[in-house]
């Protein structure tokens, strides 16, 4: 097999870069400074200098607009062309942003010739972020621009730390930070997922620098985790499987609360249209998948096997899981998140395929989901040294792997599907 890691390195700045003014009142913004530092590490935020995020003042209307454009993943498009706008009070650095927004009907000025140089309120900025998440205030469809607070709280973009009365750039940082983990309207994908797909930042950087909305617990918001860590429930799941005539075993400690959370989520009934990406790319279980993937790599190294053997070990592990069909009362497939499949010790073909793809990606190998009309398997990126059936995508060969049953070799395709067409969903 050929190891292949493709990192998305294109980053878009969510920078707010106007002039520094004096603080309106005494306020400790050290917590927001730490959030701004995280966002800066992601390439999402900067201040007036390398050491000054300028958080102790109100954001301007132009700054709020620029943030919206970046949250929409449209900065490159906005900056590519100088478009007309009629406003005489827009600073030169923001001409392209305002021109893009004006041309696309995103926002208007306060008059025919003035965009407005005043401050942006909490209502205005929350409205911008809700729009970025796909919600509409047009004709009061989802909310009204002057009363966004209920919806903002519901979708998780309004931490308790935010001061909606004296709304500062520090509050912009908190809202923006929380918004990355918020789900898009009608989707299981988060805003961060959509920005990753748009090339705004890489998933590797997101995992490294983003601490999640739970970070607001340390600021006294009380959102997210339980107040007492002892209230968390954990369960040790024991696995045994065969590979190379040996019996292997491993114990994985899984938080039951996390499993309950995943099971409470509404299934994406149209995930077959997006290649089940919302299940593969879901970041909250990366810690556990990463630990399992690392175990496979460490085991292969310990026994003197090469890196590719770690993938074969993972394949044998997933193939050993029990086949558990969906509930017959459902009128649609019920895809499981990887952590659910690990906790349940099995699932149907899509569940084990999603799990295997997630593990292979964690190990740094290219892979894909292979979707037939009534079945699903996995493809592993390989070269001509491998025999068997493969599918091509983007000029690369993905050798088929069956996940529902033990003993299937890489490149071995069940006879019933040799002449069947398939959709290929690569995950690099």
Does 273 lie in the same domain as 212? no
Decide if 228 is inside a domain.
no
Decide if 224 is inside a domain.
no
CB 370 within 8 A of CB 391: yes
pLDDT on residue 26: 60
Does 211 lie in the same domain as 339? no
Of 219, 249, 283, at which residue does a domain stop?
219
Does 82 lie in the same domain as 148? yes
pLDDT on residue 207: 82
Does 246 lie in the same domain as 110? no
Does 202 lie in the same domain as 251? no
Does 247 lie in the same domain as 152? no
Does 423 lie in the same domain as 350? yes
151-185 tens-digit pLDDT: 999 999 999 999 999 999 999 999 999 999 998 88
List the one residue out of 349, 355, 327 whose CA is nearest residue 237.
355
Residues facing 323 on adjacent strands: 347
Query: Under DSSP, is residue 178 helix (H, G, I), strand (E, B) or coil?
Result: helix
Decide if 16 is inside a domain.
no
Does 287 lie in the same domain as 138? no
Of 169, 191, 219, at which residue does a domain stop?
219
Decide if 179 is inside a domain.
yes
Does 172 lie in the same domain as 135? yes
pLDDT on residue 40: 83
pLDDT on residue 164: 94
> Which of the residues in the chain have pLDDT under 50?
1-25, 221-230
Decide if 19 is inside a domain.
no
Decide if 115 is inside a domain.
yes
Structural domain harbouring 288: 234-427
The total number of structural domains in the chain stands at 2
Does 125 lie in the same domain as 210? yes
Provide the whole-model pTM. Answer: 0.50
pLDDT on residue 255: 83
Decide if 5 is inside a domain.
no
CB 176 within 8 A of CB 169: no
Of 186, 219, 252, at which residue does a domain stop?
219
CATH number (domain holding residue 288): 3.10.620
Decide if 81 is inside a domain.
yes
pLDDT on residue 218: 65
Does 392 lie in the same domain as 311? yes
Does 56 lie in the same domain as 139? yes
Long-range contacts of 376-385, Cβ-Cβ distance < 8 Å, separation of 24 or more: 376/349, 376/350, 377/349, 377/353, 377/401, 377/402, 377/403, 377/413, 378/353, 378/403, 379/424, 380/1, 380/311, 380/410, 381/1, 381/2, 381/4, 381/428, 382/1, 382/2, 382/410, 383/1, 383/2
């Amino acid at each position: 097999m050929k190891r292949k890691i493709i990192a998305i390195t294109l980053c878009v700045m969510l920078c707010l870069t106007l002039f520094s003014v004096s603080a309106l009142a005494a306020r400790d913004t050290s917590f927001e400074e730490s959030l701004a530092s995280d966002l800066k590490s992601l390439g999402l935020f900067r201040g007036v200098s390398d050491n000054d995020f300028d958080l102790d003042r109100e954001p301007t209307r132009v700054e709020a607009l620029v943030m919206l454009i970046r949250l929409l993943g449209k900065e490159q498009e906005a900056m590519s062309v100088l478009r007309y706008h009629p406003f005489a009070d827009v600073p030169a650095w923001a001409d392209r942003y305002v021109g893009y927004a004006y041309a696309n009907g995103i926002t208007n000025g306060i008059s025919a010739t003035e965009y407005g140089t005043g401050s942006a309120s909490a209502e205005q900025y929350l409205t911008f972020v809700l729009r970025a998440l796909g919600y509409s205030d047009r004709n009061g469809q989802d909310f009204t621009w002057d009363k966004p607070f209920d919806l903002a709280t519901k979708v998780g973009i309004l931490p308790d730390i935010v001061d909606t009365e004296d709304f500062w750039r520090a509050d912009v940082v908190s809202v923006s930070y929380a918004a990355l983990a918020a789900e898009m309207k009608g989707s299981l994908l988060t805003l961060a997922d959509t920005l990753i797909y748009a090339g705004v930042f890489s998933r590797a950087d997101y995992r490294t620098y983003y601490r999640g909305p739970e970070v607001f617990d340390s600021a006294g918001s009380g959102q997210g985790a339980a107040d007492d860590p002892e209230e968390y429930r954990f369960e040790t799941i024991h696995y045994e499987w065969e590979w190379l005539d040996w019996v292997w075993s491993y114990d994985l400690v899984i938080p039951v609360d996390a499993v309950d959370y995943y099971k409470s989520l509404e299934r994406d009934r149209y995930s077959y249209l997006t290649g089940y990406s919302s299940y593969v790319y879901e970041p909250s279980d990366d810690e556990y998948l990463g630990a399992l993937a690392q175990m496979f790599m460490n085991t292969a190294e310990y026994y003197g096997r090469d890196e590719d053997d770690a993938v074969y070990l993972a394949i044998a592990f997933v193939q050993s899981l029990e086949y558990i069909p969906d509930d017959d009362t459902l009128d649609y497939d019920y895809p499981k998140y990887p952590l659910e499949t690990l906790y349940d010790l099995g699932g149907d073909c899509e569940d084990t395929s999603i799990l295997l793809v997630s593990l292979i990606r964690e190990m740094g190998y290219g892979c894909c989901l292979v979707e037939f009309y009534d079945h699903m398997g996995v493809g592993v990126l390989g070269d001509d040294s491998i025999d068997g059936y493969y599918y091509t995508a983007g000029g690369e060969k993905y050798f088929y792997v069956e996940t529902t049953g033990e003993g299937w070799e890489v490149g071995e395709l069940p006879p019933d599907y040799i002449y069947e067409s398939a959709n290929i969903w690569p995950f690099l």
